[in-house]
């Protein structure tokens, strides 16, 4: 029972972060699939992962490695409902897709999901 409650607490904190960062890295569909795979992996290996200093970071790195092997390297965002968003630049999804992976991740995490620059730098292992 302790294992389940510990994992449930981890899940509550880690799932939104993993969803944000893996979607920023791989796109909406591939990111969602990577999150499911990552959390499944975390559950299967929870006895080891729970003892690490940064379980969410450990699972993220494992998920990113696994997703790179399984998925094609294209990135896409869903087309936004332009008519419902005033002042929306219709070429924005294309422009975001043209950024390098790290640039795209930083832009989406900070501007789309409200992460702090510090959190992004720690997650991506880059300087602020």
Give the chain's length: 128
- Residue 82 and residue 96: Cα distance in Å, rounded? 16
Q: What are the residue ranges spanned by the domains of the chain?
A: 2-124
pLDDT tens by residue, 19-76: 999 988 888 888 888 899 999 999 999 999 999 999 998 998 888 888 777 655 566 6
pLDDT for res 16 = 94
**Whether this model's pTM surpasses 0.85:** no
Which single residue is written with the structure tokens 């880690």? Answer: 14
- Residue 26 and residue 57: Cα distance in Å, rounded? 17
């Amino acid at each position: 029972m302790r294992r389940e409650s510990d994992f449930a607490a981890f899940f509550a904190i880690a799932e939104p972060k993993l969803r944000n960062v893996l979607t920023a890295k791989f796109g909406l569909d591939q990111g969602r699939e990577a999150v499911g795979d990552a959390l499944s992996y975390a559950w299967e290996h929870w006895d080891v992962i729970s003892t690490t200093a940064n379980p969410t970071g450990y699972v993220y790195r494992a998920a990113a490695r696994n997703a790179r092997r399984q998925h094609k390297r294209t990135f896409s965002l869903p087309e936004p409902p332009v008519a419902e968003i005033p002042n929306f630049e219709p070429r924005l999804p294309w422009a975001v897709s043209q950024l390098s992976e790290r640039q795209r991740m930083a832009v989406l995490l900070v501007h789309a999901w409200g992460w702090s620059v510090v959190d992004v730098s720690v997650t991506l292992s880059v300087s602020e």
